Structure 1
Amino acid sequence: MLGPTDEASSPIAQAGWLDPELWKKLKAPVSRPPGKELLIAIYGMSFSNHVGTAMEAMDSRIAIRAIAGPAAPPNYSFAAYNLDRGRHQADIVILGLLASSVKAIRTLNGMTWQFEGPAPYTYPRYVLEDGKLKAIWPNSLSLAQFRAAFGNKQQWDALLTQMREHDQFFNAFLFKHNWLDNSVIVRMIRRAWAQRHQMMISNQIHSSAGFNAELDIPVLRAIITDFAATAKGDGKLPIVLVLNDRGYEDHLFQALKPTLESASIPYVSTHNIAPATDVRNFVPDGHFTESANQLIAKAMLKLIDEHFSLKLPSSATPNR
């Protein structure tokens, strides 16, 4: 994955870094482009990006500024939002939350909890101290810093120590390279162990009954509360986009509903638009279908219209 330069590294290695310099290369608008009435900033993952793309296609009067990481968890979305404050003139900010990524809220990177498709990008873990959010930032915050650490034993050991202390999915047997990797049998054992290890942690966080309200949900509730409060303080409309993907039904929405409603936070949840229980709403890789994204985008635009009177063109009605 790691080449001698960022450009020579694989696309997955380059993706998702919380690096404002990288965001400049994405050419995401920082102010309303000519002819646009609203600039909307979206923070999340590919799911939220797809919704943003569908919103732009439905209404040419809006522009999207999208910052995302591969399967990014809520702490990534929140950190991206915070880092981007003051760097743009968006009228609306959207926090994308993916149900299947909530389990990574106590991680520092996209490697430890995505064994089958690791992505090296990093992000902070948030904890509650005296009722307030505190960020634990990783040692490497860009691909260049990660590459430097990868080639320096002292820096790499420091990174591993930090993961061991603050990343719930870190397991040295699964993470560290050694000569046993030359054995096909050992690699098979390690892959099986990774699946067991990740399933055990995931089952502590989420079950068929929903999310464990004692583990990550208090931090997540604090995240959306802080997001909404700071956005309103900045004079922007905050929207929480709850993305309920396959296997999670409406569980994330149910976990967040009391906070969303008690704090009067505008939101759209996909559970009643493109239900996770209906396989027709998803493509084989797990993402929403194009028609499902159109329905979600239409719900987002309707919510925005309630605040900005941006009338949705009749031609934007999606086909189901």
Structure 2
Amino acid sequence: MSDALINGLAGAGGGIIAQLITYPLQTVNTRQQTERDPSKFAARDGVVRQMLEVVQQEGWERLYGGLAPSVVGTAASQGVYYYFYQIFRNRAENAAQDRWKKGIGDGSVGMFQSLVVAALAGCVNVLLTNPIWVVVTRMQTHKKKSNRSPNHVLRSLPDEAIQLAVVEHQPYRTSHVVQELYDEAGFWGFWKGVIPTLIMVSNPSIQFMIYETLLKKIKRKRSTNTKGAEGLTALEIFLLGAVAKLGATLVTYPLLVVKARLQAKQGLDDDKRRQYTGTFDAITKMMRYEGLSCFYKGMGTKIVQSVFAAAVLFMVKEELVKATRILVTGELSNSKLRPP
């Protein structure tokens, strides 16, 4: 089994576990990002209170709206990302080794090369998996109407209104979202928000640059220890992943808000100020009508969710990689020859 495949499968497994643990936070965060009414989902309310409001008004299941396609998307995204990341990184490491043999450099992959590797893997991931995340965003932001309307109220409505009310209470399934997207914008509707998402490949790039840099420094310090360079504990990997994701999230969060706004459903009756024709139009209208603060809506929730999810992902992935290598090869590491 190739190293790229091992990392791809381990990344998918770690991503699924992190997704299952943090999904309610993701749902609340997506609603915060796409909410235009400042009186709703205010930061002062707190994440727990906002989750309780969703449960009270729409039921527990709405906190997990879109979970099925999200798990599929997470497995696909993490698998694709780590698979191509490892392929590109192997090539970068081989090139660094070749340069070292010629007396150039120290044989290791530098920060810039790590950034390029992560960016290339991120671009491939975005182009292949964006349709899944458009569906997930739609399902997370779909608000289930209260079904507590008295029967006599429904009987007093015209037949057309009763039919509409019944439709609103039907489950919002993945197939409904897919059909809705296709009816709105055709095939290319599944790539809504792809431009800011492509720009956001800088997030995992920054994340992995920080992670790899810190990891390399720790391994160098421990290279003379009896535990060796591979002696990092699961807790240490957890903390490294948290620090790396925190730094990346702070820098790129505004793009995440723009992406969510573009992918969320825009009602035909909405104010034109709330309808976006593209990335630039969304940024312009958001700045003009809502101010700079709208680009940071829900950032606190996102930091908690993404940092914790990334930390879990890194920890689980590294443990899965080690376990798979032991099962397949009987060795903990397949690291190549490195300079002293």
TM-score (norm. length: structure 1):
0.23
More relative contact order in 1 or in 2 (CA 8 Å, sep 6+)? Answer: 2
Larger Rg: 2
More helix by share: 2
TM-score (norm. length: structure 2):
0.22
